[in-house]
């Protein structure tokens, strides 16, 4: 019956992901974190959810928890299948914590995965343009070499 169906927990992690996004837009950060954790229970090891949880912890000014989530996302998605977001978020957190060296290291990894970041005005890594210039030069050199083949 319909009443029985209402009592069942959804088994699709996307349900919880969308619920988390709604909770977040409503300003219900704790509930959003809970929804993402439920999504992770159904889809363990999905880096994207760890990144989102890290972003929410950062929003709550809980950098230690955010750090754990961003590092977990990176350990699950080292090559940026979910784009560069994990690295950029971790770099932004290190920047916020005043650790320039670690911030630059993460922003470099983000650039290697997605060089077009340089064109985005909202990318926090742009603040370290001088330190990232070698990485950009290397990326451009690789592009030229690839395009000449």
**Cβ-contact 12, 4 below 8 angstroms:** no
- Looking at residue 6, its pLDDT comes to 46
Q: Of 28, 15, 77, 25, whose CA–CA distance to 51 is shortest?
A: 77
- Looking at residue 5, its pLDDT comes to 46
DSSP 43: S
- Looking at residue 27, its pLDDT comes to 97
DSSP 38: H
- Looking at residue 2, its pLDDT comes to 44
Q: Residues near 44 by Cβ (< 8 Å), separated by ≥ 6?
A: none
- Looking at residue 86, its pLDDT comes to 87
- Per residue of the chain (149 residues), what is the pLDDT tens digit? 445 544 556 788 999 999 999 999 999 999 999 999 999 999 998 999 999 999 999 999 999 999 999 999 999 987 766 667 889 999 999 999 999 999 999 998 888 888 888 777 788 888 887 777 766 666 666 556 656 65
Tell me the C-alpha distance between 30 and 24, whole Å: 8
Tell me the C-alpha distance between 138 and 26, whole Å: 43
Q: Residues near 110 by Cβ (< 8 Å), separated by ≥ 6?
A: 80, 84, 87, 88, 91, 117, 125
**Cβ-contact 117, 123 below 8 angstroms:** yes
Which stretch of DSSP H or E encloses residue 92? helix 85-96
- Looking at residue 1, its pLDDT comes to 40
The tokens 């030069």 sit on which residue? Answer: 137
Q: What share of the chain is helix, strand, coil (3-state, %, to 5)?
A: 75, 0, 25
Q: What is the pTM of this model?
A: 0.80
Largest CA distance in the chain: 64
């Amino acid at each position: 019956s319909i009443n029985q169906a209402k009592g069942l927990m959804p088994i699709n992690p996307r349900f919880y992901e969308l619920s988390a996004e709604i909770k977040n837009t409503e300003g219900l950060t704790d509930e959003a974190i809970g929804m993402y954790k439920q999504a992770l229970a159904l889809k363990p090891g999905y880096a994207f959810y760890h990144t989102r949880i890290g972003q929410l912890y950062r929003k709550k000014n809980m950098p230690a928890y955010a750090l754990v989530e961003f590092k977990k996302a990176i350990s699950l998605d080292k090559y940026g299948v979910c784009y560069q977001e994990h690295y950029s978020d971790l770099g932004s957190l290190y920047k916020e914590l005043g650790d320039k060296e670690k911030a630059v290291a993460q922003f470099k990894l983000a650039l290697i995965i997605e060089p077009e970041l340089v064109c985005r005005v909202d990318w926090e890594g742009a603040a370290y343009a001088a330190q990232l210039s070698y990485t950009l030069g290397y990326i451009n050199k690789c592009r030229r070499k690839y395009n000449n083949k």
